[in-house]
Structure 1
Amino acid sequence: MKIIIYGSQYGTARKYAEELAKRTNIEIKSYKDVTDIDHYNTVVYIGSLYAGGVLGMKKTLAKISQCQNKKIIIATVGLADPADTENVDNIKNSMKRQLSKELYENARIFHLRGGIDYSCLNFKHKTMMGLLYKKAVGLPEEKKTAEIKAMIETHNQKVNFVDFESLNQLTDWI
């Protein structure tokens, strides 16, 4: 049995999960609706990157008691370009802190590019992004990562980098 689980705050990770489910005919659920995933032999988790973490991933994947005989695929969805190795290294380091060593080493990890629409952000996230923006623009140029540069360039805008063709790498692995 297979399942696609998504963690999405504003819809981008959900859109990727829905498209992947459509392409593969695999059951799909929000991480908020998942109670038991141990009986699935393939688990695909698509989650949005927020504040250095993947939304819902830690709590959801902790429900897997034995991962050796499972195919675990994790796809992060973020604003920065997933082709940037520094960005990917930062994401992976964060994921290592959120997952058990066994789970991290058994998972196949992908990175998808998302988007942001500042007009849809709730008050808390608008405030947080405003503070991050002020801090980011004050950094010396050599300290600005690809993720920080992307956040500065897109501040208070609506941008959409969703590319459903990037899901081909996931379907090949599934």
Structure 2
Amino acid sequence: MSKKILVAYKSKYGSTRKYAEWIASELNADLFEAQTVNTKLLSQYDVVIYGGGLYAGGIAGVKLVVNNPCKNLIVFTVGLADPNSTDYSAIINKNFTPELLAKTKFFHLRGGIDYKKLGPVHKVMMAMMKGMIQRKPESEREADDIEFLNTYNTKVSFEDKRTINSVVDYVKGL
């Protein structure tokens, strides 16, 4: 018997939506924007995959799955930082209870940014981040800091369809 899979996402600028579409396509899953999903719909699925962008220590729209128990929950986040050199534990612990953490599988993917499309709040946040990095002594700046400064105020995409393979393989192994 094949599993019934739902992919839900909240995307502000498009990267999370793109990853959600790729994952849903690979898994032949149903795809929904998070705001159209409710508890009744979630309960109809064997596997729920939720994707949300990372913003100021939060995962966009994650309350949907935090407040509604799912049988098999997989969460993927999308942010600018390199997932291979980023510690997401503070963000995960802030957004999930210990009980839910134990039952959830997490994946972290890399998105993109187009400064021209940012809303006023996100523009201010990025300017503040730039200021914080610039105040660090150069010897203390990490690779992500340098990359941030080098790409500030430009359009950058780190989206890579191949990075969904770990999510797809995990779900197929359930």
TM norm structure 1: 0.87
Correspondence 1:50 to 2:58? no
Residue 156 of structure 2 aligns with which residue? 159
Correspondence 1:169 to 2:172? no
**Given the alignment, which residue of 114, 118, 121 partners 1:117?**
114
Structure 1 residues 39 and 141: alpha-carbon distance in aligned structure 2, compared to 1, 3 A threshold = farther
Could you tell me whether the CA contact under 8 Å between 1:13 and 1:46 is conserved in 2? yes
Structure 1 residues 144 and 38: alpha-carbon distance in aligned structure 2, compared to 1, 3 A threshold = farther
Could you tell me whether the CA contact under 8 Å between 1:81 and 1:146 is conserved in 2? no
Could you tell me whether the CA contact under 8 Å between 1:2 and 1:40 is conserved in 2? yes
- How big is the shift at 1:145? 4.9
**Given the alignment, which residue of 132, 136, 139 partners 2:133?**
136
**Given the alignment, which residue of 4, 28, 32 partners 1:29?**
32
- How big is the shift at 1:118? 0.4
Structure 1 residues 72 and 147: alpha-carbon distance in aligned structure 2, compared to 1, 3 A threshold = farther
Structure 1 residues 95 and 146: alpha-carbon distance in aligned structure 2, compared to 1, 3 A threshold = farther
**Given the alignment, which residue of 62, 67, 73 partners 1:63?**
67
Structure 1 residues 145 and 72: alpha-carbon distance in aligned structure 2, compared to 1, 3 A threshold = farther
Structure 1 residues 149 and 108: alpha-carbon distance in aligned structure 2, compared to 1, 3 A threshold = farther
Structure 1 residues 95 and 126: alpha-carbon distance in aligned structure 2, compared to 1, 3 A threshold = same
**% identical aligned pairs:** 37
**Given the alignment, which residue of 4, 8, 11 partners 2:11?**
8
Residue 106 of structure 1 aligns with which residue? 103
Listed one character per residue, the Cα deviations across residues 33-87 of structure 1 (whole Å, up to 9, x for unaligned) are 2111234221101111111111111x1112323x5xx221111111111111xx1
Looking at structure 1, the residues matched to 160 and 15 of structure 2 have their Cα atoms a distance apart, in angstroms, of: 11
Count of aligned residue pairs for this structure pair: 166
TM norm structure 2: 0.87
Please give the root-mean-square deviation of Cα atoms over the aligned residues, in Å: 1.7
- Give 3-state SS (helix, strand or coil) of 2:165's partner: helix
Q: Mind listing any 5+ residue stretches in structure 2 that lack a counterpart? A: none
- How big is the shift at 1:170? 0.8
Q: Mind listing any 5+ residue stretches in structure 1 that lack a counterpart? A: none
Could you tell me whether the CA contact under 8 Å between 1:78 and 1:115 is conserved in 2? yes
